[in-house]
Amino acid sequence: MAKRPFHAVSALAGLAVPTRLGEGRGDPGVTIEERVGLGLATVAARKGQAEALKGAVASAYGVELPDGSRVAHGPSISFVGYGPGQWLAVSESLVNETLARDLGQRLRGLASISDQSGGRAVLRVSGPRARAVLAKGLPIDLHPRAFTPGSAATSTISLMGVQLWQVDDAPTYDLAIFRSVSASFWRWLTASAGEFGYEVVGRER
C-alpha cells in the first residue's frame, strides 16, 4: 500500500491565502474565505419517493427538505435545493466523504446519493460590497427585496457554474463552484473585488 497517508489538497490551495488586496484605502469591501473539509453530496429523490424522503430526512437529520431553490439548515446538515427533487447536502460535522456515506445508509431506496466533497470549492463571500462584487458576474438579483438569508440559486458567474445561498444579512453568501475552474474563478473574483478592496481570510495553507 501507499507508504504515507494521503494529504488532501483543497481546490483553492495556494490561491485563497490570507492577504489584503485591491483598493487599499478604508476597510475592505469584501472578505473571502474558502470553506475546506466540508461534506458535500447531491441527493436526488427516487421516483415517487419525494414525500417519504422528506420524512426520512426530517427524522434522520432534523431538518425539513426545502421546496424550490432555498437552503434549510439542520443541526448537522444544510440542504440546498438545486433542482426539482434534487439537493446539495452540505455539512461541517460529517466531513468529506463521510457525509455521502451517512446519507447513503439512512436514505437507501429513497434517494440517489453522489459524493461531491472533492468536486466543489465552497467560497464564503461577505461584506458591505459583496452584492456589488457578485453583480459583476451573477445574472441574479441579490437585492434584499428579492434574495434573503435562506434563498439559494443555481446559475453562472462569468461562464462558470455556481450554486449560491445567502447565509446572513452582512450580507454573507456561500458559493459552491466546480473544482476544476477554481483558478479561473479566482481570477474573476479578485478582479471584480479589487475596486472595493478585499481581504482573504482563513488558515494559512
Partner 1 sequence: MRIRCPYCGERALEEFTYRGDATVRRPDSLDPGAAQAWVDYVYLRDNPAGLHKEYWHHSAGCHAWLVVTRNMSTHEIVAVEFAEKGASK
Partner 2 sequence: MTTARQPNRLGEGGLIDRSQTVRFEFDGAPLAGHPGDTLASALLANGIRLVGRSFKYHRPRGILTAGSEEPSALVELRTGARREPNTRATMIELYDGLSAASQNRWPSVKFDVLAANQLFGPIFSAGFYYKTFMWPPTFWEKVYEPMIRRAAGLGRGAGVADPDHYEKAYAFCDVLVVGSGPAGLAATLAAARSGARVILCEEDFRLGGRLLAERYEIDGKPARDWVETVEAELEAQPECRILRRTTVQGVYDGGTYAALERVNDHVLKPLAHEPRQRLWRIVAKRVVVCAGALERPIVFGNNDRPGVMLAGAVRSYVNRFGLAPGRRAVIFADNDDAFRTASDLAQAGIEIAAAVDGRRTPSRAAQEAAEAAGARYRAVAVIERVRGLHGVKGVEIRDEKGRERMACDLIAVSGGWNPTLHLTTHLNAKPQWNDRLAALVPGALPPGMSVAGAARGTYGLAACLAEGEEAGAKAASECGFAASASRPRASDESVTASPLWQVAESKGKAFIDFQNDVAVSDVKLAACEGFRIPEHLKRYTTLGMATDQGKTGNANGAAVLAAVTGRYIGAVGTTTFRPPYTPVAISAFAGHHRGPDFRPARLAASHGFAEEQGAVFVETGPWLRALYYPKPGEEPQDSVNREVATVRGQAGVCDVSTLGKIDVQGKDASIFLDRVYANTFSTLPVGKARYGLMLREDGFVLDDGTTARLAEDHYFMTTTTVNAVKVMQHLEFCQQALWPELDVQTVSVTEQWAQFAVAGPRARDVLQGVVDPAYDLSNAAFPYLACGEVTVAGGVPARLYRLSFSGELAYEIGVPARFGEALIRAIMEAGAPFGLAPYGTEALGVLRIEKGHPAGGELNGQTTAHDLGFGKMLSTKKDFIGRFMAAREALTDPLRPTLVGLRPLAREDRVRAGAHLIPKDKEATARNDQGYVTSIAFSPSLGHWLGLGLLSRGPERHGEIVRAYDHVRGGDILVEVRPPCFIDPEGERVRG
Residue ranges in contact with partner 1 by CB under 8 A: 68-69, 82-84, 86, 139-140, 153-156, 161
Q: Mapping DSSP to helix (H, G, I), strand (E, B) and coil, where does residue 103 land?
A: helix
Residue 116: which of partner 1, partner 2, none does it interact with, CB under 5 to 8 A by kind? partner 2
Of 50-58, 61-69, 73-81, 153-161, the segment contacting partner 2 by CB under 8 A is 153-161
**What residues does 19 pair with on adjacent strands?**
200
**2 binds partner 2, rule: CB under 8 A:** yes
Of positions 50, 76, 96, 149, contacts partner 2 by CB under 8 A? 96
Q: Mapping DSSP to helix (H, G, I), strand (E, B) and coil, where does residue 109 land?
A: coil
For residues 12 and 57, what is the distance between their CA atoms, to the nearest angstrom? 31
Site for partner 2 in 130-149 (CB under 8 A): 135-141, 143, 145-146
**What residues does 163 pair with on adjacent strands?**
154, 176
CA-angle at 10, arms to 40 and 82, nearest 5°:
30
Tell me how far, at minimum, the Cβ of 105 lies from partner 2, in Å. 14
Q: Using CB atoms within 10 Å of the CB of residue 75, give its burial: 0 to 12 exposed, 13 to 18 middle, 19+ buried.
A: exposed
Which is closer to partner 1, CB of 11 or CB of 153? 153
**20 binds partner 2, rule: CB under 8 A:** no
Of 51-59, 69-77, 162-170, 180-188, the segment contacting partner 2 by CB under 8 A is 180-188
**117 binds partner 2, rule: CB under 8 A:** yes
- Decide if 43 contacts 79 (C-beta within 8 A): yes
**What are the strands, taking DSSP E only, across 46-196?**
71-73, 77-83, 86-91, 111-115, 120-126, 152-157, 160-168, 172-178
Interacting residues with partner 2 (CB under 8 A) = 1-11, 22-23, 42, 44-48, 96-97, 112, 114-120, 135-141, 143, 145-146, 158-160, 178-185, 187-188, 191-192, 194-195, 197
